[in-house]
């Protein structure tokens, strides 16, 4: 059930390690061009995912409600504190973008239809081919991220283990929800919005507190389900007024 997730952990570990080794030998101008390239590509991926939405109002609601929840919970500041602690333990204070690297890489590796579908497929049938393809892609992504952002990328293997592995282990529980095409579309779109935020941060346009919007990933399927259940009620209500 976890074969695909464990393979993904291995590829991200290898890619991150190679990126860290190579990144230390790169001049600053090469770091800058890789950083800008990552930012542009991240924006493109985010836009493609965001366009998956079938209802912009649902997407707006999920992002706004999720953002308010995240702000109240202070997710971004708590992650920054965790990043500072981990940075001190692992890098002796030399990597000033540790928490940003962790959040950015975790989102890129774990948000998307390939993650959800592949994890469910692996958990329900043992078929890890889709996650194997994702792992191969993440190998190159982790190399580029680690070369530019540093040690925080390596820590994203914990996110992969917890989130992706959790989906595979709980596939029987989640399959009914996450096999729903509309829920997948809206989840993908919310993930795209978050990844656009990461791209904007990578390009130093604006420091958007992307982590505070993470609850939107939970709010989105709840909104889809609520609207779907309430739609017949409102339809019957309005038809009663019209008759």
Provide the CB-side half-sphere exposure for 17 (13 A, CA): 7
Taking only the tens place, the pLDDT of each residue in 4-37 is 889 999 999 999 999 888 877 777 787 778 778 8
- Domain ranges for the chain: 3-242
**DSSP secondary structure letter of residue 111:** S
Average pLDDT of the residues in 158-176: 80
- Please, what is the average pLDDT of the chain? 81
Among 1-15, 53-67, 74-88, the range scoring the smallest mean pLDDT is: 74-88
Residues 6+ positions from 188 with CB-CB distance below 8 Å: 49, 52, 112, 113
Percentage of the chain exceeding pLDDT 90:
14
Query: What pLDDT, on the 0 to 100 scale, is given for residue 145?
Result: 85
Residue 65's pLDDT band, with cuts at 50, 70 and 90, is: very high
Q: Is the pLDDT of residue 228 over 90?
A: no
Q: Which of 61, 49, 47 is nearest to 225 (CA)?
A: 61
Whole-model pTM: value is 0.72
Residues 6+ positions from 145 with CB-CB distance below 8 Å: 16, 19, 38, 101, 104, 105, 108, 153
Q: Which of 144, 140, 141 is nearest to 22 (CA)?
A: 144
Query: What pLDDT, on the 0 to 100 scale, is given for residue 113?
Result: 66
Residue labelled with tokens 């791209």: 199
Taking only the tens place, the pLDDT of each residue in 99-156 is 778 888 888 888 766 777 778 778 877 778 878 888 888 888 888 888 888 888 888 8
Residue 210 burial by Cβ neighbours in a 10 Å radius (0-12, 13-18, 19+): buried
Query: What pLDDT, on the 0 to 100 scale, is given for residue 68?
Result: 95
Q: Is the pLDDT of residue 193 over 80?
A: yes
Is the Cβ–Cβ distance between 120 and 174 less than 8 Å? Answer: yes
Query: What pLDDT, on the 0 to 100 scale, is given for residue 90?
Result: 59
d(CA 209, CA 80): 10
């Amino acid at each position: 059930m976890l074969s695909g997730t464990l393979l993904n952990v291995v590829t991200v570990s290898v890619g991150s390690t190679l990126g860290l080794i190579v990144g230390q030998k790169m001049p600053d101008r090469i770091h800058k061009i890789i950083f800008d390239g990552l930012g542009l590509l991240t924006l493109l991926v985010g836009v493609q995912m965001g366009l998956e939405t079938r209802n912009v109002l649902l997407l707006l609601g999920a992002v706004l409600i999720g953002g308010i929840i995240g702000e109240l919970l202070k997710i971004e500041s708590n992650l920054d504190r965790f990043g500072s602690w981990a940075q001190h333990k692992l890098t002796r204070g030399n990597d000033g973008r540790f928490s940003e690297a962790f959040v950015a890489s975790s989102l890129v590796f774990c948000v998307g239809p390939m993650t959800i579908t592949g994890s469910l497929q692996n958990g329900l049938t043992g078929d890890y081919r889709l996650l194997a393809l994702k792992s191969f892609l993440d190998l190159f992504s982790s190399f580029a991220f680690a070369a530019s952002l540093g040690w925080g990328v390596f820590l994203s293997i914990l996110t992969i283990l917890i989130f992706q592995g959790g989906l595979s282990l709980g596939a029987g529980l989640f399959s009914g929800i996450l096999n729903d095409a509309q829920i997948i579309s809206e989840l993908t779109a919310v993930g795209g919005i978050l990844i656009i935020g990461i791209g904007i941060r990578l390009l130093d346009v604006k420091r958007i507190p992307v982590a505070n919007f993470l609850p939107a990933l939970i709010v989105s399927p709840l909104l889809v389900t609520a609207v779907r259940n309430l739609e017949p009620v409102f339809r019957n209500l309005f038809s009663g007024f019209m008759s």
